[in-house]
Chains A and B, each alone.
Chain A
Amino acid sequence: MKKPVIKGDTITVPSHPEYLTDVDAFLEGTLRGFGAEESVVADIAISVSELVNNAIVHGNKSIMDKKVTVTIARHNRAVVITVSDEGGGFDPTCVQSPLAEENLMKEVGRGLFIVHSLMDQVQVEPSQKGTRVTVTKEI
């Protein structure tokens, strides 16, 4: 397994779920350095794990050579995190509601819904070169 690449406020990992723990360790360490409360750290960590999972599975189609990049920055009282993949992009309006009765017992399909619930702002920018999702949360 290749090692994750960390440069300043950015971590880049191959498209494999085993790297979720590396991203989480980097993220939580940085957030605690910012002085974020544990509850906020958990909300952000949950959301970023969803976005990285989506980037690996739906964006990069689990092709190990394609990378997922996570960047974290602090702007005043807010943390801004960007998750980028190298996939073909997707239409966020096509995502079904996980609250619909027919979807309630499905094992998948709640990731982006949870991100929207936990973060203050979510911006999804799909393109043919990949999808970039930026989330913001006050700490």
Chain B
Amino acid sequence: MRLIDREEQNIVILSPKGKIMGGPDASLLHDKLYECIEKNKKRVVIDLAGVDWMNSTGLGILISSYTTLRNHEGELKLANVTDKIRSLLTITKLVSVFESFDSVDEAVKSFK
């Protein structure tokens, strides 16, 4: 997995690319998230458009990110959830946990 980050209207947009299957993937996203929190940037969108697929480790990373931000009075939203990932979120009932949007723009606007 690779991770690209940018900012839009003071909201951090994290764009993982490739497959999220474990190993160093978790620490990559986790470290970036803590870097954002330390800079007091606690409103985050994870753009999943470039993620081919993820396994339960990937779902665990999303939950960890969600919980970490909530514990620091921040917020996490998802954008561009692919059919494959939506299917995993549905069968694991996590679809009810995450707020998701069809585009990064919509996710960013939802913070206002």
Q: Is the CB of A17 within 8 A of B53?
A: no
Q: Is B102's beta carbon under 8 Å from chain A?
A: no
Majority secondary structure, A binding face:
helix
Does the CB pair A114–B92 fall under 8 Å? yes
How far apart sit A104 and B24, CA to CA, in the bound complex (Å)? 24
Closest B residue by C-beta to A42: B53
Residues of chain A within 8 A of B97, CB atoms compared: 104-105
B93:A107 contact, CB within 8 angstroms: no
Of all chain B residues, which has the CB nearest A112?
B56
Residues on the A chain within 8 Å of B54, using CB: 46
Query: Any chain A CB within 8 A of the CB of B91?
Result: yes
Q: How far is the CA of A20 from the CA of B55 in the complex (A)?
A: 12
User: In the bound complex, do residue A107 and residue B55 qualify as a contact, i.e. CB atoms below 8 Å apart?
Assistant: no
Distance in angstroms from A13 CB to nearest chain B CB is 12
Residue A110 contacts which of B19, B21, B56, B64 (CB distance < 8 angstroms)? B56
Is there an interface contact between B84 and A105, defined as CB atoms closer than 8 Å? Answer: no
A18–B52 Cα gap in the complex (Å)?
18
CB of B37 within 8 Å of the partner chain? no
Is B11 among interface residues, defined by CB-CB distance under 8 A? no
For B92, the chain A residues whose CB sits under 8 A away are 98-99, 110, 113-114
- A53–B53 CB distance below 8 A: no
Instruction: Please report the C-alpha to C-alpha distance between residue A50 and residue B53 in the assembled complex, in whole angstroms.
Output: 12
**When the two chains form their complex, are residues A114 and B94 in contact, meaning their CB atoms are under 8 A apart?**
no
Closest 5 CB pairs of A and B: A17-B23, A107-B60, A110-B56, A49-B21, A111-B56
Instruction: Give B contacts to A, CB under 8 Å.
Output: 19, 21-24, 52-57, 59-61, 63-64, 67, 84, 88, 91-94, 97
24 contacts between A and B (CB under 8 A): A17-B24, A20-B21, A20-B23, A39-B84, A42-B52, A45-B19, A46-B88, A49-B21, A49-B22, A49-B55, A50-B55, A50-B56, A98-B92, A99-B93, A104-B93, A106-B63, A107-B64, A108-B56, A108-B60, A110-B56, A110-B92, A111-B55, A114-B55, A114-B92
